[in-house]
Amino acid sequence: MESIFHEKQEGSLCAQHCLNNLLQGEYFSPVELSSIAHQLDEEERMRMAEGGVTSEDYRTFLQQPSGNMDDSGFFSIQVISNALKVWGLELILFNSPEYQRLRIDPINERSFICNYKEHWFTVRKLGKQWFNLNSLLTGPELISDTYLALFLAQLQQEGYSIFVVKGDLPDCEADQLLQMIRVQQMHRPKLIGEELAQLKEQRVQKTDLEHVLEVNDGTGMLDEDEEELQRALALSRQEIDMEDEEADLRRAIQLSMQGTSRNRCQDIPQTSGSHPTSEELRKRREAYFEK
């Protein structure tokens, strides 16, 4: 895997990463792709001028931004296609009727370029195995022959446009090496964003641990302090439970007194001398709790 060239995402330069990962080297820079884009813009301007430089369509065209590139680093399919023509390579739409009629098994191709909105990435065969060289991944992702067709179908389902790269790719070290050996991948690469989030969390945890050790003067008393904290929390919970029990007991007594008074009022005609004594109330409460 170390021999495989894999440019990771920088800004919005996915078209550059896509081309370089396809060709397995630093073949194109933003400056070179911008030059191709400007050339395409000029060709489009000249075609529009044929209808008259004073026409409304021509003036509107001049006011519009370039459709081949923007300031973020995005480049169009026309730029990518023209860049590949330098190497004698051609792009054919994978799901076009013309290509589908050929009924070519994807594993018999050499490479694909995939595009969704403004993101481009390469899927390429190196040696006898297929790899997803998406610049958003932390490294190349191995794709088995049996999974390749399903992988491409899934991309199409998600809205990707897929192009077959036709022609002879330049020789590269990874292709030569992987003709002799097969790669085994135990863990799939993560998305760059996921890895950065994980690294950030690990740094935060490390910083917190270092802070705790500093507070404890590095004396190795962390375990004892933790045990004392657990004991204090346990005692605190016991005190809260006791307070809750006492509150429940007071409420029960109060309810008992109210309930007994109501029962007595219902069973015995009220007279001026019918109020129970405090001793009788005490006995009734005890009888209530013994039930």
If one compares 174 and 211, the residue with the highest pLDDT of the two is 174
The candidate with the shortest Cα–Cα distance to 114, out of 68, 160, 75, 169, is: 160
Question: Which residue of the set 68, 114, 119, 132 is catalytic?
Answer: 119
- Say whether pLDDT at 232 is over 50: yes
Question: Which residues are CB-contacts of 21 (< 8 A; sequence separation ≥ 6)?
Answer: 5, 6, 7, 121, 122, 124, 133, 135
The pTM assigned to this predicted structure is 0.66
Q: How far apart are CA 183 and CA 163, in angstroms?
A: 26
pLDDT of residue 263: 44
What is the CB neighbour count within 10 angstroms for residue 70? 14
pLDDT of residue 57: 84
- Say whether pLDDT at 34 is over 70: yes
**Catalytic residue at 14?**
yes
Contact between residue 26 and residue 209 where contact means Cβ atoms under 8 Å apart: no
**Catalytic residue at 134?**
yes
Q: How far apart are CA 26 and CA 5, in angstroms?
A: 9
| Residue 162 φ then ψ, to 5° | -120, 135
pLDDT of residue 273: 46
Percent of the chain at pLDDT > 90 equals 53
3-state secondary structure of 178: coil
Question: Which residues are CB-contacts of 172 (< 8 A; sequence separation ≥ 6)?
Answer: 5, 23, 24, 25, 126
If one compares 279 and 33, the residue with the highest pLDDT of the two is 33
Q: How far apart are CA 239 and CA 227, in angstroms?
A: 19
**Catalytic residue at 119?**
yes
**Domain locations in the chain as residue ranges:** 14-195
If one compares 96 and 241, the residue with the highest pLDDT of the two is 96
Tell me yes or no: is domain 14-195 CATH 1.10.760.10: no
- Residue 126: strand pairing partners: 129
93, with CB counted inside 10 A (0-12, 13-18, 19+), is: middle
Q: How far apart are CA 93 and CA 164, in angstroms?
A: 6
3-state secondary structure of 174: helix
What is the CB neighbour count within 10 angstroms for residue 281? 16
The candidate with the shortest Cα–Cα distance to 36, out of 7, 76, 89, is: 76
| 151-202 tens-digit pLDDT | 999 999 999 999 999 999 999 999 999 999 999 998 989 999 885 565 566 6
Question: Which residue of the set 21, 68, 115, 134 is catalytic?
Answer: 134
- Say whether pLDDT at 291 is over 60: no
Question: Which residue of the set 14, 20, 115, 132 is catalytic?
Answer: 14
